[in-house]
């Protein structure tokens, strides 16, 4: 099957020239922004690793049985070393980080999109900003990381399209012998670049956001129950909040501690609880923040009862989350079976198709 690949070669060369052109015309600001975005990514990784280390230490302290404690301490010792090595490696990367060349061309494209107000760009940027606000307190860092992610997505899309076209040419020149195979190869080229650009740019961000969201849903019932008990006794609402925030480690407790520090820094309760709600980005947490703010203004009348009611709703939501996770696990277990089924079908049908082609 003879196929003229001249047009594909022209597209390849054009894409590579576009990518190199945007790399060459990148300003110093683009390069510095790319470097800053990379540093923020590495700092977040370090913070996540340190949180894991603290959680492991807390779990170890809660063990009462001496034999179990010693055994766990022996096992966790190697896990600690692994985490510490990862932290040290990330720290070295931050000190030695250079300009991420693969991302820089995306900044020039990003500047063009901002200048000409591309359709859908504001919506995309708004979504990514919203997710980043759940991890970063500094607005400048939120904007830097958002631009870094979008620039990475744009740059890698061009880069992976070039690689996909290169693979397509190789496959067509060496393996493609029929129209069906040609169609399959072209479909692969169309799907591969956006898939890998998304995987390279957004997958980690969305995965981290889902982990944080699930952690908050899991921890919220306990937090509400503790707040209800404390506010129902002798504690003032803010004192109860501070006690619960310091009682355990976890995503929600960490956000509560940040809110306590904001109030101590004289940011004001209204602003502090509003920021707490924005970081968690859940309607149940927003309701809790509004309730705490209201109790500061008009007192804690029926606060304990309202918190108990919210705790009941949160326990129901936690059970629903567990069910969704179980269903998701069942679906993932079906994937290997589906792959095996496809392989069996191909093994059965391929000889029939080949014999029909020879007739």
Spell out the long-range contacts of 201-205 with Cβ–Cβ below 8 A and sequence spacing 24 or more. 201/149, 201/150, 201/152, 201/153, 201/156, 202/128, 202/149, 202/153, 205/128, 205/131, 205/132, 205/149
Q: Rounded to an integer, what distance in angstroms lies between the CA atom of residue 123 and that of residue 120?
A: 5
Condensed to tens digits (0 to 9), the pLDDT of residues 158-205 reads 888 888 777 777 766 666 555 555 555 666 666 666 666 666 667 777
Mean per-residue pLDDT, 85-90: 73
Q: Which pLDDT score is estimated for 107?
A: 92
Q: How far is CA 354 from CA 76, 261, 287, 316, 348, in A?
A: 56, 71, 64, 56, 11
Q: Which pLDDT score is estimated for 67?
A: 56
What is the C-alpha end-to-end distance of the chain, expressed in Å?
A: 18
Q: Rounded to an integer, what distance in angstroms lies between the CA atom of residue 183 and that of residue 206?
A: 32
Q: Rounded to an integer, what distance in angstroms lies between the CA atom of residue 129 and that of residue 35?
A: 19
Condensed to tens digits (0 to 9), the pLDDT of residues 253-262 reads 888 988 988 8
Residue 126 pLDDT exceeds 80: yes
Of the candidates 14, 24, 181, 190, the one whose C-alpha atom is nearest the C-alpha of residue 107 is: 24
Of the candidates 107, 57, 63, the one whose C-alpha atom is nearest the C-alpha of residue 84 is: 57
Mean per-residue pLDDT, 50-64: 68
Residue 357 pLDDT exceeds 60: no
Instruction: Look up residue 201 and give its two tokens.
Output: 């740019």
pTM for the complete prediction? 0.73
Q: Which pLDDT score is estimated for 101?
A: 85
């Amino acid at each position: 099957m003879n196929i003229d690949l001249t047009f594909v070669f022209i597209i390849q060369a054009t894409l590579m020239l576009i990518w190199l052109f945007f790399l060459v015309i990148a300003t110093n600001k683009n390069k510095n922004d790319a470097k800053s975005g990379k540093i923020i990514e590495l700092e977040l990784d370090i913070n996540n690793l340190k949180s894991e280390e603290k959680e492991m230490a807390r779990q170890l302290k809660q063990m009462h049985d001496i034999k179990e404690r010693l055994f766990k301490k022996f096992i966790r010792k190697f896990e600690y070393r692994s985490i510490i090595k990862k932290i040290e490696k990330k720290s070295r990367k931050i000190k030695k980080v250079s300009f991420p060349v693969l991302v820089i061309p995306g900044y020039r494209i990003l500047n063009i999109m901002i200048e000409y107000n591309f359709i859908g760009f504001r919506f995309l940027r708004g979504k990514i900003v919203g997710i980043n606000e759940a991890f970063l307190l500094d607005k400048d860092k939120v904007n830097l990381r958002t631009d870094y992610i979008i620039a990475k997505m744009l740059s890698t899309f061009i880069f992976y399209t070039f690689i996909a076209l290169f693979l397509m040419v190789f496959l067509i020149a060496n393996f493609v012998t029929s129209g069906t195979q040609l169609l399959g190869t072209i479909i692969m080229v169309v799907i591969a670049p956006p898939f890998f650009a998304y995987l390279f740019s957004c997958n980690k961000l969305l995965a981290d956001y889902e982990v944080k969201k699930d952690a908050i849903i899991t921890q919220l019932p306990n937090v509400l129950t503790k707040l209800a008990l404390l506010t129902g006794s002798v504690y003032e609402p803010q004192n109860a909040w501070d006690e619960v925030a310091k009682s355990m480690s976890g995503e929600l407790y960490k956000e509560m501690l940040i809110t306590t520090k904001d109030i101590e820094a004289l940011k004001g309760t209204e602003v502090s609880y509003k920021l707490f709600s924005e970081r968690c980005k859940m309607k149940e947490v927003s309701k809790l923040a509004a309730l705490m703010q209201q109790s500061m203004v008009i007192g804690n009348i029926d606060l304990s009862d309202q918190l108990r009611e919210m705790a009941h709703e949160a326990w129901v939501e936690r059970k629903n989350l567990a069910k969704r996770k179980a269903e998701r696990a069942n679906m993932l277990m079906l994937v290997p079976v589906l792959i095996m089924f496809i392989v069996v079908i191909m093994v059965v049908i391929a000889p029939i198709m080949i014999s029909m082609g020879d007739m």
